[in-house]
Structure 1
């Protein structure tokens, strides 16, 4: 075996070992917090392969109006950054802004704690429905896409907070970044998508397309009221 591959292997190992260190060689620290309405972050020492700090701000209207911020250590190679959104109907939307940084405690300054749900139509439309507590969702109308949402998405997955996890299925407009979610720790929920199909959204029909309300056997709000960890986040109230 030549020396070249051995040297490259050793360099890769050393790089991985120092991935969670700051410029002084000591372990990187970031602030950690996940909250609904308010957050009091505490210092956290990062461990491999975490090499960055992350801050995620979420605003959603999944049965109730929810906002929150998530701050923690992160692996920059596996973290979604930027803006992503789903719009499953007139009153069913998720907007998430995620940023990473690589200096000591750089995620202490939170972004805007509440994103404004976009209401500016972009001329596109998609089939829409939202069914919390279900693994299927049949569209019964269309939603006019807003903002940068130019994809039609059909997703199946789970929403989790604390010890409570529920399945959900939904269809609607989405940004391209949202279509890449598999697991995302956010400001309110942890999102896991087991299925996500996206395609370019077609132009809206000339007549006004109906804006579909949330639908399903029950609302998310009716579930989370049974879980103390959702209070006061979802009863007065985000998190890829």
Structure 2
């Protein structure tokens, strides 16, 4: 009886339809993507649309991606970081769970078009190999741009495509969506951030010196 019941359960599992989700599909090493193809996403994957512009990951500076993503690695948001030595990251991500819900492209403004917003934060930057120690010494302050209203102390693992992970440590200005990544992991195309730790506070107003 038990064998028959087990056989029936196994048969039902094999016959159960595998759910899929059709998502728009596009991948470009530019801030736009003209391909209007589609792909099927299975298991716990959802649709994602995103665009990336940064000078932190040299192997993946600019990218546009539409396709599938694991739900636990997809977080909709407007992400912007400004750190020491001119280092920055801009990324917009939209995650959704209906047919081709990711077909609309996302854009980030050219970095030179972002204006200082009158706020500033302490800054440092370090990207190093896993076995090395962090050396994120203070580099003074940086001016916050656009909608960056938070000072951030940020740590994560960063990787691109099949390259080894590096340790990323920085302080600087950030949007609230970056702060909300604390304890999470995120992937856009071939760009991955894991074991994210963020500590944020309100950015301070820059002191205007009288001439």
User: What band does the TM-score fall into relative to the shorter chain?
Assistant: 0.7 to 0.9
Structure 1 position 167 matched with structure 2 position 162: no
1:186 maps to what in 2? 188
| Worse-matched range after superposition: 54-63 or 65-74 | 65-74
Report 1:32-47 matches (<5 A): 32-37=25-30, 43-47=38-42
1:125 and 1:144 in contact (8 A); partners too: yes
Task: Give TM-score, length-normalised by structure 2.
Answer: 0.72
Separation of aligned partners in 2, 1:158 and 1:75? 18
Separation of aligned partners in 2, 1:121 and 1:188? 30
Residues 182-203 of structure 1: CA distance to partner in whole angstroms, max 9, x if unpaired? Answer: 2111256211244211111111
Higher RCO by CA contacts (8 Å cutoff, separation 6 or greater): 1
2:73 and 2:187 in contact (8 A); partners too: no
Gaps of 5+ in 1: 1-16, 22-26, 209-240
2:48 maps to what in 1? 54
Q: How many residues align?
A: 184
2:119 maps to what in 1? 124
| Worse-matched range after superposition: 168-177 or 83-92 | 83-92
Residues 20-44 of structure 1: CA distance to partner in whole angstroms, max 9, x if unpaired? Answer: 95xxxxx211244554348667643
2:84 and 2:139 in contact (8 A); partners too: no
- C-alpha change, 1:170 and 1:129, in structure 2 (3 Å) is same
Task: Give TM-score, length-normalised by structure 1.
Answer: 0.64
Gaps of 5+ in 2: 1-15
Report 1:6-17 matches (<5 A): none
Equivalent position SS for 2:204: coil
Structure with bigger strand share is 2
1:235 maps to what in 2? none
- C-alpha change, 1:90 and 1:41, in structure 2 (3 Å) is farther
Structure 1 position 203 matched with structure 2 position 189: no
Separation of aligned partners in 2, 1:106 and 1:163? 28
1:8 maps to what in 2? none
Structure 1 position 135 matched with structure 2 position 131: no
- C-alpha change, 1:188 and 1:36, in structure 2 (3 Å) is farther
